[in-house]
Structure 1
Amino acid sequence: MEYVPLVSIIVVDYKKKNPYLIECLNAIEKQTFRKFEIILVCDYRVNLDYPKLRQKYFGHYVGPAEKRDIGAKMAKGEILAFIDDDAYPSPDWLKSLVSHFKKSNIAGVGGPGMTPPGVSWQEEASGWASASPVGAGMYRYRFLPDKKQYVDDYPSMNLAIRKIDFEKVGGFDSKYWPGEDTKLCLDLTHRLGKKIIYDPKVIVYHHRRPILAPHLRQNGNFGIHRGYFARILPETSLKPIYFLPSLMLLGLLFMLFVDVFGIQNILIIKVWNIGVVISSLYLLVLLFNALWILRRSNLFQALLSIPVIFITHLWYGVRFIQGFLFTGKLIQ
């Protein structure tokens, strides 16, 4: 028997004039899987006319996690499909994710959030900083299609959850924004013992923060939340890869200190020389990463990726240290 559950698509919006919201809603309307409702939770009322849409607004700012929880309470569907207001789904998005929920051990399904075609060069540069091998590391599958796999942490920009499991763990925890999705996934996989599957066919197109200040602001927020979670939620966040930008930052500061003060200690000089070798290897890896981007984009984006990724790593490293050592709680 064909499995055709009602899917509640939950979109949270926080801008009075959002240039991407209509793009998102129009793409939802074109889904090949037709049994869905749209729940829009926003700060301010938006005048829209979509037959499957219900709207909740507040007239003031409300945090994303709280909005998603409110949307989930309004939902009539068996599956909650969360998507950001600056993203839009591919036509088979719902069709691809629904089939996974036939298995009772599956609590969630995620898929890649690709940079949309035709965006500005600043937005494209931000996208490559996230999607390239050096920019994303082992998490490149979050930004480009990769092999199907189980995951224990996935961002809510493209995440579907079985409603009954969502309710069992208490939904999103607004105390952990940004990063409430990390806490939710931890609860689903460790508390309930359920699985979250990544499917490369569950595609949305997710707009990026343009370089440089908005891009760094967002990635800095990612860094501080990951550092904080590495301390308080080590089950899914205490991983060596998250510490690498901070270690690189500390190494460069050490080398600069040795240079400025002309320290001649033999042991310190040996460590400094090791640092030079590692820095040279890092630069070489950035060059190979640029070649990878060149095959998929153009020479300008390839060359631009070198300083953008380097600066992004440094700033992420600063904010990770802040989150790991000094942050008492995350503030919206």
Structure 2
Amino acid sequence: MSALIGTKTVLPTVSVVIAAHTMKRWAYLKAAVASVQAQTVPAAETVVAVDHNPQLCERALQEFAGITVVPNIGQPGASATRNTGVRASHGEVVAFLDDDAIASPAWLETLLMHFSRPEVVGVGGGLVARWETRRPRWFPPEFDWVVGASYRGMAENAEPTRNVWSNNMAIRRRTHDDIGGFREDFGKIADRSHSEDTDLCLRAAAHDGGIWIYEPLGLAAHHVPAKRATLRFFLKRCFSEGQGKAALAAFYGLHQSTSTERGYIARVLSPGIARSMRDALHGDASGAFRGLAMAAGLVMTAAGFLAGRSPQPSRLRKRLR
């Protein structure tokens, strides 16, 4: 049954899929499920899809009353796990939330409002970094995507975008099924991370001739563990992102797969580095480190892209493993 907001807007039914894979995140998974259950517009169902972890699956079955729990018995990885969750769902729209994210109370309501426009195939929400430890002063807000959060320079109001992120997105179920869902051989498997969400967004938009919307008010908070607040993780994640974009370019060509990234360099990074240097000149010593981190992040992302385009494994790629 569709939800009625006020007296005019009828929202589509929505199923929420949360992909999980490790007992180490059990407390965060419980918080994610609780946040979905506390929505201003209730989900038709919540599905927890568990990636090849019988212990986690059994515990979720025992402790989550009224929640559908399904095991991924196909190919390991986040993409196949999310697809498994979708197959167990029945809503007109499928929303995805990570197992270490907490949705704000109006998360679903805010995302679903955009589906009143027939040209919208999907919507992604804003993500706030929830640091386990204090945020490092050298960590530039322009690179918050490194820890799975919205970064400085992203739109402050809802607008069309090339892609959104799978830790906070919603897509029409029909479109998801028509394109075969997430590409299961392309995505997060162990330490390998490819842009499976960008790939899904490009295929969905091309299939329906529609658009994606980034809605910054559809907020979720994403947990950032202490081990990700290090320079080593920062550089490694940048390198991995470059590799992922190289893999994406193999499907869509260089221009389409890097269109947003080229704009990001010109519109976000260049002013960001200049801002950091001005901060340093005005007495904020950490400003210089933020500027250096941005430059290093850009270099590592470019190195990862070049390594990903090369048929031979690079020495740098091996050292970062």
TM bracket, shorter-chain basis: 0.7 to 0.9
Of the candidates 188, 203, 209, which is equivalent to residue 204 of structure 2? 188
Matched, 1:3 2:10: yes
Match of 1:146 among 156, 162, 167: 156
User: Which amino acid in 2 is paired with 1:79?
Assistant: V
Alignment of 1:14-163 (within 5 A): 14-18=21-25, 19-43=27-51, 44=53, 45-46=55-56, 47-48=59-60, 49-57=63-71, 62-116=76-130, 119-122=132-135, 126=139, 128-131=141-144, 140=151, 146-163=156-173
Gaps of at least 5 residues in structure 2 are: 1-7, 188-193, 314-321
- Residue 161 to residue 285, structure 1, CA distance change in 2 (3 Å): closer
Q: Supply the RMSD in Å over aligned alpha carbons.
A: 3.6
- For the pair 1:311 / 2:296, whether they are aligned, the reply is yes
CA distance in 2, matches of 1:290, 1:120: 26
Structure 1 residue matching 2:114: 3-state secondary structure: helix
Change (3 A) 1:243 1:149: closer
* Contact 1:8 1:81 survives alignment (8 Å): yes
The answer as to 2:221 corresponding to 1:205 is yes
CA distance in 1, matches of 2:246, 2:217: 31
Aligned partner of 1:323 in structure 2 is: 308
Q: What amino acid maps onto 1:288 in structure 2?
A: R
How many angstroms apart in 1 are the aligned matches of 2:110 and 2:155? 13
Do residues 229 (structure 1) and 245 (structure 2) align?
no
Aligned partners of 2:221 and 2:299: how far apart in 1?
27
Change (3 A) 1:292 1:26: farther
Name the one with the larger helix percent. Answer: 1
Instruction: Give the secondary structure class of the aligned counterpart of 1:3.
Output: strand
CA distance, structure 1, for counterparts of residue 21 and residue 13 of structure 2: 26
Deviation at 1:302, TM superposition (A): 4.2
Residues 285 and 30 of structure 1: CA distance in aligned 2, closer, same or farther (over 3 Å): closer
2:5 counterpart residue number: none
For 2:312 and 2:114, locate their aligned partners in 1 and report how far apart those are by CA, in whole Å: 38
Deviation of 1:290 after TM superposition, in Å, equals: 6.3
For residue 240 of structure 1, report the CA deviation from its aligned partner.
8.1
Q: Distance in 2 between matches of 1:197 and 1:205?
A: 19
SS of equivalent to 2:216: coil
Distance in 2 (CA, whole Å) between partners of 1:244 and 1:151 is 13
1:314 and 1:113 mapped to 2: Cα distance? 25
User: What CA distance in whole angstroms lies between the structure 2 residues aligned with 1:59 and 1:318?
Assistant: 35
Q: TM-score, normalization: structure 2?
A: 0.75
Mapped to 2, the partners of 1:291 and 1:111 lie a distance apart of: 31
1 or 2, which has the higher strand percentage? 2
Q: Alignment length, in residue pairs?
A: 284
Q: Is the 8 A contact 1:111 1:159 kept in 2?
A: yes
CA–CA distance in 1 between the matches of 2:32 and 2:138? 22
Aligned pair in 2 of structure 1 residues 4, 214: CA closer, same or farther (>3 Å)?
Answer: same
Q: 2 CA distance for matches of 1:327 and 1:181?
A: 26
Q: Residues 216, 222 of structure 1: CA spacing in aligned structure 2 closer, same or farther, 3 A cutoff? A: same
- Whether the aligned pair in 2 keeps the contact of 1:149 and 1:198 (CA below 8 Å) is yes
3-state SS of paired residue (1:176) = coil
* Residue of structure 2 equivalent to 1:257: none
Matched residue SS, 1:326:
coil
Give the 3-state SS of the residue equivalent to 2:310 in structure 1.
helix
CA distance, structure 2, for counterparts of residue 91 and residue 240 of structure 1: 30
Aligned residue for 1:316, secondary structure, equals helix
Q: Secondary structure at the match of 2:143?
A: helix
Give me the TM-score of the superposition, normalised by structure 1: 0.73
CA distance in 2, matches of 1:192, 1:228: 24
Deviation of residue 176 (structure 1)? Answer: 2.2
Tell me which moved more, 143-152 or 98-107: 143-152
**What secondary structure, in the 3-state scheme, does the structure 2 residue paired with 1:42 have?**
strand
Tell me the equivalent position of 2:176. 166
Deviation string 1:54-90 (CA, Å, 9 cap, x unpaired) is: 1123589821000011111011111100112222111
Q: Percent identity?
A: 22
1:223 aligned counterpart, secondary structure = helix
Whole-angstrom CA distance in 2 between matches of 1:306 and 1:91: 36
Aligned partner of 1:15: which letter?
T
Which position in structure 2 is the counterpart of 1:248?
none
Counterpart of 2:98, as a letter, is D
Residue 31 of structure 2 aligns to which amino acid in structure 1? E
Query: What's 1:259 paired with?
Result: none
